[in-house]
């Protein structure tokens, strides 16, 4: 942090020098202006010109070239012109070269103060403080999660408007079993960042567990809002699966968990849900699968897709962007038949769309012979398309065995 402020000071030095530099030339400029005013003969020249023109007018009057009325009119015009020229030559008294020097240090102080205040308001000082704090706790001989939480709580008091403070506190509270504190941290984060489906889903999850795995009116309201914004939000689908499992609705739990897995990019969470599906199948008396098929393996007929990104669009979106691979019926009358989601960093990759990726029992790839594939890369991670997303599609893709050559879909366009 000290090095950062030293760097700011070094950057401010040229600006301060530009303020000081004119003072060094002030004496010379003052003397040059004084000499110019002393030696200025403009007023004398204007008077001489006036006298010559007046003499010409008088001579013309004597010769009878002009009458008295014309003479008076022209003389008045000459006098008016002389007055205007003389008025324009009036100068304010020349001030001393040292006058105004006090304003320079005042402006310098204001420049430095404004720069510091602007950085504290708009800069990333708070985030740098968080990084330094986390590094300090990690390197501390007695460093612990409790110490990190205590330091972050101090930062929450100092910079309550920094969303990174609350996003750092929330998972620590959650993992330490401090549900109420985790809820408060998430609510503050939502106030600062907005009601994004991922944040609402996590809040619904924490509220659900704090309420002893009950769908209270508060939890239900959060679930409904999240699904309204993103019908495939995996955290909420996982919560609904747990609630269904607790009610012995094992088929419902399996359905929710399969849909959650289809939208998950976290392998460990997906594995936990697969284990839950296996247990639910045992409770149903169904022979559980030895393991759930991975993304590259098929479950029934489906479509094997190879997704790649056009070279011209490389680097357009960051590594945190999310890829959605969606299969729909050709007529567009049914809900999405299958949806897979993964990070853009995995491109190019192959994915098998099959029954695991169905969004509901009423719509799956088993119902159609051909499908339309749409691939979208979302910077925000939201399921709803937004301007700036990248996309590609493929029409008339046959649904069937998935052991053949994959269907190529190239993401090569930008959504307006």
State residue 11's pLDDT score. 64
- Is 227 within 8 Å of 260 (Cβ atoms)? no
Specify whether the CB–CB gap between 351 and 299 falls below 8 A.
no
Each residue of 90-110: pLDDT tens digit? 565 656 655 656 666 676 677
How much is the pTM? 0.47
Angle, helices 250-262/234-246, rounded to nearest 10 degrees = 170
d(CA 342, CA 266): 9
Question: Phi and psi dihedrals of 275, rounded to 5?
Answer: -65, -40
For the CA atoms of the chain, what is the radius of gyration? 39
- C-alpha to C-alpha distance for 337 and 339, rounded to whole angstroms: 7
The answer to whether 388 and 413 are in contact (CB under 8 A) is: no
- β-sheet bridge partners, residue 111: none
Name the one residue in this structure whose structure tokens are 């879909």: 409
Asked whether the beta carbons of 183 and 210 are under 8 A apart, the reply is yes
Cα-Cα-Cα-Cα torsion 394, 400, 405, 407, nearest 10 degrees, comes to 10
Question: What's the average model confidence in pLDDT over 269-278?
Answer: 82
8 A C-beta contact, residue 290 and residue 390 = no
Contact 319, 343 (CB under 8 A): yes
Residue 335 has pLDDT above 90, yes or no: no
pLDDT band with cut points at 50, 70 and 90 for residue 289: low
CB burial of residue 273 (10 Å; 0-12, 13-18, 19+): buried
Mean of all residue pLDDT scores within the chain: 78
User: Among 111-120, 280-289, 326-335, which stretch is predicted with the lowest mean pLDDT?
Assistant: 111-120
Least confident residue range of 12-21, 293-302, 350-359, 389-398: 293-302
Give the whole-angstrom CA distance, residue 23 versus residue 314.
53
Higher pLDDT, 74 or 393: 393
Task: Answer with the residue of higher pLDDT: 41 or 233.
Answer: 233
Whether the Cβ atoms of residue 302 and residue 342 lie closer than 8 Å to each other:
no
Distances (CA, A) of 384 to 68, 77, 271, 326, 413: 92, 79, 27, 12, 17
Task: Tell me the C-alpha to C-alpha distance, in Å, between residue 88 and each of 40, 43, 91, 205, 299.
Answer: 13, 10, 8, 80, 94
pLDDT tens figures, 12-35: 677 666 666 666 666 666 566 666
User: Which pair of structure tokens corresponds to residue 290?
Assistant: 């030895």
pLDDT winner (highest mean) among 72-81, 214-223, 324-333: 214-223
Query: What phi and psi values does residue 35 have, to the nearest 5 degrees?
Result: -65, -40
Report the range of poorest mean pLDDT among 45-49, 186-190, 255-259, 325-329.
45-49
Of 31, 43, 26, nearest in space to 91 by CA: 43
Q: Report whether 354 contacts 371 (CB < 8 A).
A: no
As a whole number of angstroms, the distance between CA 307 and CA 403 comes to 17
CA distance 35 to 38: 5
CA–CA dist 285, 207 (Å, integer): 32
Please report which helix (H) or strand (E) contains residue 350, including its range.
strand 349-353
């Amino acid at each position: 942090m000290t090095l950062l402020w030293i760097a700011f000071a070094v950057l401010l030095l040229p600006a301060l020098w530009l303020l000081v530099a004119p003072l060094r030339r002030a004496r010379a400029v003052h003397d040059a202006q004084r000499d110019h005013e002393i030696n200025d003969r403009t007023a004398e020249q204007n008077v001489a010109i006036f006298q010559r023109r007046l003499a010409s007018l008088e001579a013309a009057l004597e010769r009878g070239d002009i009458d008295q009325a014309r003479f008076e009119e022209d003389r008045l015009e000459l006098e008016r012109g002389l007055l205007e020229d003389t008025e324009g030559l009036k100068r304010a008294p020349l001030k001393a070269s040292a006058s105004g020097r006090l304003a320079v240090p005042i402006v310098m102080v204001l420049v430095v103060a404004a720069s510091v205040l602007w950085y504290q308001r708009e800069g990333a000082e708070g985030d740098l403080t968080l990084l330094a704090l986390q590094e300090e706790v990690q390197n501390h001989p007695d460093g612990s999660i409790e110490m990190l939480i205590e330091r972050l709580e101090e930062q929450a008091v100092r910079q309550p408007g920094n969303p990174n403070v609350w996003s750092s506190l929330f998972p620590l509270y959650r993992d330490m079993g401090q549900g109420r504190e985790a809820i408060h941290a998430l609510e503050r984060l939502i106030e600062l960042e907005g009601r994004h489906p991922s944040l609402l889903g996590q809040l619904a999850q924490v509220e659900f567990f704090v309420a002893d795995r009950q769908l209270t009116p508060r939890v239900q309201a959060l679930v409904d809002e999240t699904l309204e914004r993103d019908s495939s939000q995996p955290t909420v689908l996982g919560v609904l699966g747990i609630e269904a499992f607790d009610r012995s609705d094992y088929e419902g739990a399996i359905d929710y968990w399969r849909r959650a897995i289809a939208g998950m990019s976290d392998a460990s969470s997906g594995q936990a849900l697969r284990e839950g599906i296996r247990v639910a199948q045992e409770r149903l008396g169904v022979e559980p699968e030895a393991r759930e098929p991975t993304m590259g393996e098929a479950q029934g007929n489906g479509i094997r897709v190879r997704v790649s990104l056009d070279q011209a669009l490389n680097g357009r979106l960051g590594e945190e962007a999310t890829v959605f691979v969606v299969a729909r019926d050709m007529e567009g009358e049914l809900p999405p038949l299958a949806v897979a989601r993964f990070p853009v960093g995995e491109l190019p990759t192959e994915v098998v769309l099959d029954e695991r990726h169905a969004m509901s029992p009423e719509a799956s790839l088993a119902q159609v012979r051909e499908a339309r594939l749409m691939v979208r890369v979302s910077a925000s991670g939201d399921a709803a398309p937004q301007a700036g997303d990248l996309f590609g599609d493929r029409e008339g893709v046959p649904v069937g065995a998935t052991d053949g050559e994959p269907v190529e879909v190239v993401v090569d366009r930008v959504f307006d």
